[in-house]
């Protein structure tokens, strides 16, 4: 069964003791099974204390991050690649200490607007680093999700098909595809077909809305998305992601372009998201129920 998750930025921008306590307690209270903790700097996550809080609340966690210009493993620059590999390994050691099942996001390049297309050599180099890092992740039971994002946030993986090809290039069983409804709505010709085509490569899914606000209040075909996830046999986490400048600070506000608030009450947003996702998933599963043949009804 799919675990339902919530991105911590619905509650907090950072990870001070107070922020961690509030975000974990509220995520559990609103009914979610896991919290996705932003790990742009994993060294600030205080794994021992955070894990105690997670255990006390009875929820799990995943980590997400994007690399930056100084750690860009798709750059082809040996120094940046070395720094990127170190950053990924540091994040993985924190993930292990937290008991995180997945480390996701823009792990394969910088999380930024690029002004040039990627090079073939850069992508190969990124895949080589990912292969090495995957071994370390596997030793700790962690799956790596390559998040497919829109063209303004990376130049490497903008479609599900590109991500499948990248994972095949990496050639490690725990390096898989992370899709996001918001990004797919921008880049895919047909998000439903893209989810189905990704199939068993999919390891993580972000729900969200076209304007990144209340789920169901934008222009994404949410029933279609949930039906596609169920029809393709996906059983991994489904995590809701939404951002408001009421909560997140820089640099995220700038990178994501959060210039207006689609919500101010994170608790109302989270409760609605949990109810909505739970109902969509239930409805999608019911579409799989096979009708009884006429001859078996006794009519
Ligand atoms: Mn996402």
pLDDT of the chain along its 299 residues, tens only?
899 999 999 999 999 999 999 999 999 999 999 999 999 999 999 999 999 999 999 999 999 999 999 999 999 999 999 999 999 999 999 999 999 999 999 999 999 999 999 999 999 999 999 999 999 999 999 999 999 999 999 999 999 999 999 999 999 999 999 999 999 999 999 999 999 999 999 999 999 999 999 999 999 999 999 999 999 999 999 999 999 988 988 888 888 899 988 999 999 999 999 999 999 999 999 999 877 777 766 55
| 85, 147, 153, 209: the active-site residue | 147
149 C-alpha vs ligand 1 centroid, how far in Å?
7
183 C-alpha vs ligand 1 centroid, how far in Å?
7
In three-state secondary structure terms, 184 is: helix
Residue 168 annotated among the catalytic residues of the structure:
no
Q: How, if at all, do strands 238-240 and 4-7 pair?
A: parallel
**CA angle, 74 then 243 then 262, to 5°:** 140
| Rounded-to-integer distance, Cα 66 and Cα 39, Å | 8
Tell the burial category of 173 from Cβ atoms under 10 Å away from its Cβ (0-12, 13-18, 19+).
exposed
131 C-alpha vs ligand 1 centroid, how far in Å?
22
Residue 241 annotated among the catalytic residues of the structure:
yes
CA dist 171 to 24, 125, 144, 168, Å?
A: 35, 13, 12, 5
CA dihedral 178, 181, 184, 189 (to 10 degrees): 120
Q: How, if at all, do strands 175-180 and 202-207 pair?
A: parallel
- Tell me how crowded residue 294 is: count the other CB atoms within 10 A of its CB: 8
242 and 277 in contact (C-beta within 8 Å)? no
pLDDT confidence of residue 16: 96
| 36, 153, 188, 241: the active-site residue | 241
């Amino acid at each position: 069964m799919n675990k339902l998750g919530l991105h911590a930025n619905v509650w907090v921008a950072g990870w001070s003791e107070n922020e961690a306590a509030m975000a974990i307690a509220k995520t559990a209270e609103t009914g979610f099974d896991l919290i996705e903790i932003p790990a742009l700097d994993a060294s600030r996550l205080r794994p021992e204390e955070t894990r105690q809080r997670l255990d006390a609340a009875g929820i799990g966690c995943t980590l997400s991050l994007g690399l930056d210009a100084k750690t860009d493993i798709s750059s082809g620059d040996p120094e940046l690649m070395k720094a990127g590999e170190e950053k990924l390994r540091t994040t993985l050691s924190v993930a292990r200490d937290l008991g995180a099942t997945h480390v996701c996001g823009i792990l394969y390049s910088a999380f930024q607007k690029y002004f040039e297309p990627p090079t073939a050599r850069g992508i190969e180099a990124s895949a080589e680093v990912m292969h090495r890092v995957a071994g370390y992740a596997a030793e700790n039971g962690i799956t790596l999700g390559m998040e497919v994002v829109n063209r303004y946030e990376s130049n490497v993986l903008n479609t599900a098909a590109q991500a499948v090809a990248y994972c095949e290039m990496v050639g490690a069983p725990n390096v898989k595809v992370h899709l996001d409804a918001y990004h797919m709505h921008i880049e895919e010709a047909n998000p439903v077909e893209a989810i189905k085509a990704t199939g068993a490569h999919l390891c993580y899914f972000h729900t969200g809305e076209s304007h990144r606000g209340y789920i169901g209040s934008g222009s994404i075909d949410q029933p279609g998305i949930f039906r596609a996830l169920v029809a393709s046999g996906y059983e991994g986490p489904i995590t809701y992601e939404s951002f408001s400048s009421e909560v997140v600070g820089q640099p995220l506000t700038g990178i994501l372009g959060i210039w207006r608030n689609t919500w101010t009450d994170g608790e109302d947003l989270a409760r609605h998201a949990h109810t909505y996702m739970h109902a969509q998933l239930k409805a999608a599963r019911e579409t799989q129920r096979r009708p009884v043949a006429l001859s078996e009804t006794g009519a």
